[in-house]
Amino acid sequence: MSSTTEKVRQLAPHWAVMFVAMFAALAVVERVLGGLGLAASLVIVLVIAVAYPVVVRTLGVAPPVWQQ
C-alpha cells in the first residue's frame, strides 16, 4: 500500500466526522440565529476545520498522520 493510500485510509473517517460536525453546526446556528451569510458560514467551517484535529489529538484518538 502506498504512503498516500495509507494516509487517506487513516484520515477518511476523521474527514467524515469533521464534515458532519460542520453541517450540524451550520444547521444549529442557522436554526437559532436565522439565515447566515457566506462569511459567517465560512468562519464556522474554518473554526471547526482548525479545532477538530486539536480536539482529536487531545482526546488521544488522532490517526498517526496527525501525531506530532
All structural domains of the chain with their residue ranges: 4-66
Q: Per-residue pLDDT for 2 more than 90?
A: no
pLDDT band with cut points at 50, 70 and 90 for residue 48: very high
Residue given cell 458532519 in the structure block: 20
Q: How large is the average pLDDT for residues 20-47?
A: 93
Residue pair 10/65 in contact (Cβ under 8 Å)? The answer is yes
Q: Per-residue pLDDT for 39 more than 90?
A: yes
Distances (CA, A) of 48 to 4, 10, 44, 61, 68: 24, 19, 6, 17, 20
Residue given cell 450540524 in the structure block: 24
Furthest CA-CA distance within the chain? 47
